[in-house]
C-alpha cells in the first residue's frame, strides 16, 4: 500500500494537516465535496481540527481508491 506523504498535504508547512488542507487535496482530485465534508468529520476522530498520521491512515484504509487518486495527483 502506498502511504501518502504527509508533507504533500501540509501546504502551509506547519507540520500538521488541517481539515481545510485535506479538503483542498480532495478538491484537487475532483472529489465531490458534500460527500467529503461528511468524511472530514469522520476522519478527525479526536476532533482537534487536524489530521494525524494515524487518522490519515485509517481514512486511507476506509477509502483506498480515493486515496490512491489523491496520492497519484499530489
Ligand atoms: Ca498545515
Ligand atoms: Ca485529529
Strands 17-18 and 50-51: antiparallel
Domain boundaries, the chain: 2-73
| Residue 20 CA, ligand 2 centroid: distance in Å | 13
Q: Considering every ligand atom shown, identify the ligand nearest to the alpha carbon of residue 22 and give its number.
A: 1
Q: What is the pTM of this model?
A: 0.72
| Residue 46 CA, ligand 2 centroid: distance in Å | 5
Report the CATH number of the 2-73 domain: 1.10.238.10
The pLDDT value recorded for residue 36 is 61
Report DSSP letters for 33-61, one per residue: HHHHHHHHHHH-TT-SSEE-HHHHHHHHH
Tens digits of residue pLDDT in 19-58: 888 888 888 887 666 666 666 777 899 999 999 888 988 9
| Residue 14 CA, ligand 2 centroid: distance in Å | 15
Amino acid at each position: 500500500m502506498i502511504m501518502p506523504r504527509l508533507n504533500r498535504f501540509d501546504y502551509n508547512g506547519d507540520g500538521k494537516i488541517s481539515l481545510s488542507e485535506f479538503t483542498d487535496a480532495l478538491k484537487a482530485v475532483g472529489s465531490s465535496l458534500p460527500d467529503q465534508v461528511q468524511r472530514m468529520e469522520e476522519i478527525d476522530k479526536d476532533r482537534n481540527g487536524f489530521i494525524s498520521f494515524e487518522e490519515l491512515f485509517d481514512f486511507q484504509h476506509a477509502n483506498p481508491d480515493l486515496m490512491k487518486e489523491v496520492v497519484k495527483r499530489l
